[in-house]
């Protein structure tokens, strides 16, 4: 069974909420990415999302754009990142998702990328700029490879299109709780309950809510309304602050643990 599907089934059985973490791959280098993924697994993180560095990350705010830039500067390529995932798999079975722009898949070769990702141990792809209406071949290749097709729902998504999207997704649905780009926020959106209720009318897939969660209080509040939460920019910001220090993994893990605990209470 796919690791994402397996993890959410276990969480449901245990009555627990999931914690999804996002970091930019190769920031500050791929060895740090490997060590962070292993540390996150030990800290109770349920899914690790790795942003594949891209030169034009249009869906990302400044914090994650800079992480992508640092990833590119460290020499991170899709092939090297897949090698890093294979290294992570020697020590951990934590579910791994690639947060990626379609141009990378297109340049690498769509079928080859999906097959290589599955072989390395990637469990899901979240392709930011590939609408479901244009992804039939992609979905077929993903299904054949056993990799989850993760789609985004936005606050502005009409319910009719929402129904169309969720029926084509697998693993979990990523609900983007705010309009605009990624980034930390001082308070969570007030429409999360209404939107997750709408999504649930059309799917049994777990819903993970992200974009803007940056402290334990916000994490706890959002976890009450969804099956999982996603924390990205707040963690990426910690990597930016401590990336040049020898205690990077320890510092970032210390930041993450209270967030995980808030969700798991």
Q: Which residues are catalytic?
A: 49, 60
Distance CA 120, CA 124 (A): 12
Which tokens belong to 256?
A: 């993450």
Q: How far from 114 is each of 37, 85, 104, CA to CA, in Å?
A: 21, 14, 11
- Dihedral sign (CA 164, 165, 171, 174): negative
- Dihedral sign computed on CA atoms, order 8, 14, 17, 22: negative
Determine the 3-state secondary structure of 192 from DSSP. helix
3-state percent helix, strand, coil for the chain, nearest multiple of 5:
50, 15, 35
- CA atoms 253, 99, 67, 37: torsion sign: positive
Spatial distance between the Cα atoms of 1 and 20, rounded to a whole number of angstroms = 19
Residue given tokens 């990702």 in the structure block: 117
């Amino acid at each position: 069974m796919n690791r994402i599907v397996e993890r959410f089934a276990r969480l449901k059985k245990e009555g627990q909420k999931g914690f999804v973490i996002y970091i930019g791959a190769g920031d500050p280098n791929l060895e740090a990415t490997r060590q962070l993924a292993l540390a996150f697994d030990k800290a109770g993180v349920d899914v690790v999302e790795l942003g594949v560095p891209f030169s034009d990350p249009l869906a990302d705010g400044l914090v994650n754009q800079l992480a992508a830039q640092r990833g590119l500067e460290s020499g991170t390529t899709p092939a090297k990142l897949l090698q890093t995932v294979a290294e992570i798999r020697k020590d951990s079975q934590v579910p791994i998702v690639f947060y990626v722009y379609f141009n990378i898949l297109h340049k690498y070769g769509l079928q080859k990328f999906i097959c290589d990702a599955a072989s390395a141990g990637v469990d899901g792809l979240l392709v930011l700029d590939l609408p479901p209406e244009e992804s039939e071949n992609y979905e077929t290749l993903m299904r054949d490879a056993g990799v989850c097709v993760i789609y985004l729902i936005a606050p502005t998504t009409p319910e009719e299109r929402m129904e169309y999207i969720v029926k084509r997704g697998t693993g979990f649905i990523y609900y983007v709780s705010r309009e605009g780009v990624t980034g930390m926020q001082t308070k969570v959106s007030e429409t999360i309950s209404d939107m997750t209720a709408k999504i649930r009318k059309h799917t049994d897939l777990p819903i993970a809510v992200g974009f803007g969660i940056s402290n334990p209080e916000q994490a706890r509040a959002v976890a009450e309304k969804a099956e999982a939460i996603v924390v990205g920019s707040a963690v990426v910001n910690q990597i930016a602050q401590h990336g040049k220090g020898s205690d990077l993994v320890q510092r970032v893990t210390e930041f993450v643990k209270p967030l995980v605990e808030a969700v798991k209470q």
